[in-house]
C-alpha cells in the first residue's frame, strides 16, 4: 500500500488487508488483518518526508507446524504441483526448509521423502535406522532438487492455528454417514491440517479413529498410552484410507 497518512491506495492480494495502526500522530506501524499462511515473509516500510526518507525491513513468521501428507493412492504419488494443491486442500501450504528444520528440532521423525516449496525433496530423521537411509547421522536428509513434473514423492505441509475448533462425533459410521453427522452438528468433516492444528496447539487427545474430509481415518494423541496404539511418541495416528462403506469409525468435525 502507499499512503499520505489520510488517503491510501492498496495493491495486490494483501493490499485490502493492510492499513496503518495510527495509535498516535507519529505511529506509522503496519497492520495486517486476517492473516493467511502465504503472508509469511519479509516486508519493507519506507517513510518519506521531503527529501529525507527512512526504511526498515521486518520479517513476519507465522506460528505453525509441519505434517507429512500422502496421496490416497499410496506412497510417492505426488508431482510437485499435486503436492502443492494437496496441502492447500488440507488447510496448509507446502513447507519451507526452515519450517521442516524447526519441526525436526521439535521431534518430527519421518522416513518418507516429501516435496518442499523450493522444489527440493527431503525427510527428517531423529533416529537413524536401516530402512530410513542407513546409519547416517540424524538430520534433514535430502534428495536435492527434483524434476517437478516427472518425479513423484509425498508432501510436507505447513499449517497454523484455525479460527474454529475440531470435535468428535461417535460412530460407528460410514464415510457418508460421517458427512451427515457433522452437518447435523453445524459443521463439516475436518481437514487433516485442522486436526493437526487442534492436536498441536490445543493438545487435542482422542483415542477413537474418525473419518476426515479426504477419506482418511486418523486420531490425535498427546498422552501416549498402550490402549491407544502403543506408540511412545505423541502424534496424529492414521489408519490410511479405508473403504468408505465400512461402518467402523466416528467422525472428526470442524466448526
Kindly report, residue by residue over 184-221, the tens digit of the pLDDT: 999 999 999 999 999 999 999 999 999 999 999 999 99
Give pLDDT, residue 50: 82
- Identify whether residues 145 and 177 lie together within a single domain: no
Domain end residue (candidates: 125, 159, 193): 159
- Identify whether residues 54 and 74 lie together within a single domain: no
Give pLDDT, residue 136: 86
Give pLDDT, residue 39: 85
Domain end residue (candidates: 101, 127, 159): 159
- Identify whether residues 153 and 171 lie together within a single domain: no
- Identify whether residues 146 and 165 lie together within a single domain: no
The mean per-residue pLDDT over the stretch 101-120 comes to: 94
Domain end residue (candidates: 12, 34, 60): 60
Average pLDDT, the chain: 92
Q: Return the number of other C-beta atoms located less than 10 Å from residue 159's C-beta.
A: 26
Range of the domain at 110: 64-159
In the chain, pLDDT over 90 holds for what percent of residues? 69
- Identify whether residues 36 and 114 lie together within a single domain: no
Whether pLDDT at 5 is above 80: no
Whether pLDDT at 151 is above 90: yes
- Identify whether residues 95 and 154 lie together within a single domain: yes
**Which CATH number belongs to the domain containing residue 189 in this structure?**
3.10.100.10
CA angle 227/229/231 to nearest 5° reads 115
- Identify whether residues 55 and 80 lie together within a single domain: no
Number of domains in the chain: 3
d(CA 14, CA 123) in angstroms, rounded, equals: 32
Closest CA to 63 of 37, 87, 26: 37
Confidence of residue 162 (pLDDT cuts 50, 70, 90): confident
- Identify whether residues 93 and 72 lie together within a single domain: yes
- Identify whether residues 117 and 132 lie together within a single domain: yes
- Identify whether residues 122 and 135 lie together within a single domain: yes
- Identify whether residues 173 and 126 lie together within a single domain: no
- Identify whether residues 179 and 244 lie together within a single domain: yes
Amino acid at each position: 500500500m502507499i499512503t499520505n497518512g489520510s488517503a491510501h491506495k492498496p495493491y495486490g492480494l494483501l493490499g485490502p488487508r493492510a492499513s496503518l495502526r495510527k495509535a498516535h500522530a507519529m505511529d506509522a506501524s503496519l497492520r495486517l488483518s486476517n492473516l493467511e499462511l502465504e503472508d509469511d515473509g519479509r516486508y519493507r516500510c519506507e517513510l518519506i518526508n521531503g527529501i529525507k526518507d527512512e526504511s526498515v525491513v521486518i520479517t513476519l513468521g507465522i506460528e505453525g507446524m509441519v505434517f507429512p501428507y500422502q496421496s490416497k493412492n499410496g506412497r510417492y504419488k505426488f508431482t510437485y504441483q499435486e503436492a502443492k494443491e494437496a496441502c492447500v486442500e488440507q488447510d496448509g501450504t507446502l513447507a519451507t526448509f526452515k519450517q521442516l528444520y524447526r519441526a525436526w528440532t521439535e521431534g518430527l521423525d519421518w522416513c518418507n521423502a516429501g516435496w518442499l516449496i523450493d522444489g527440493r525433496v527431503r525427510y527428517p530423521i531423529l533416529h537413524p535406522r536401516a530402512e530410513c537411509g542407513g546409519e547416517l547421522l540424524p538430520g534433514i536428509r535430502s534428495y536435492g532438487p527434483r524434476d517437478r513434473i516427472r518425479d513423484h514423492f509425498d508432501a510436507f505441509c505447513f499449517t497454523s492455528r484455525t479460527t474454529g475448533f475440531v470435535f468428535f462425533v461417535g460412530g460407528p459410521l460410514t464415510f457418508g454417514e460421517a458427512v451427515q453427522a457433522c452437518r447435523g452438528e453445524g459443521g463439516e468433516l475436518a481437514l487433516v491440517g485442522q486436526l493437526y492444528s487442534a492436536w498441536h496447539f490445543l493438545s487435542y487427545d482422542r483415542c477413537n479413529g474418525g473419518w476426515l474430509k479426504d477419506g482418511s481415518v486418523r486420531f490425535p494423541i498427546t498422552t501416549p498410552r498402550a490402549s491407544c496404539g502403543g506408540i511412545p511418541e505423541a502424534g496424529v495416528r492414521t489408519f490410511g484410507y479405508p473403504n468408505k462403506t465400512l461402518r467402523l469409525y466416528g467422525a472428526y468435525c470442524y466448526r
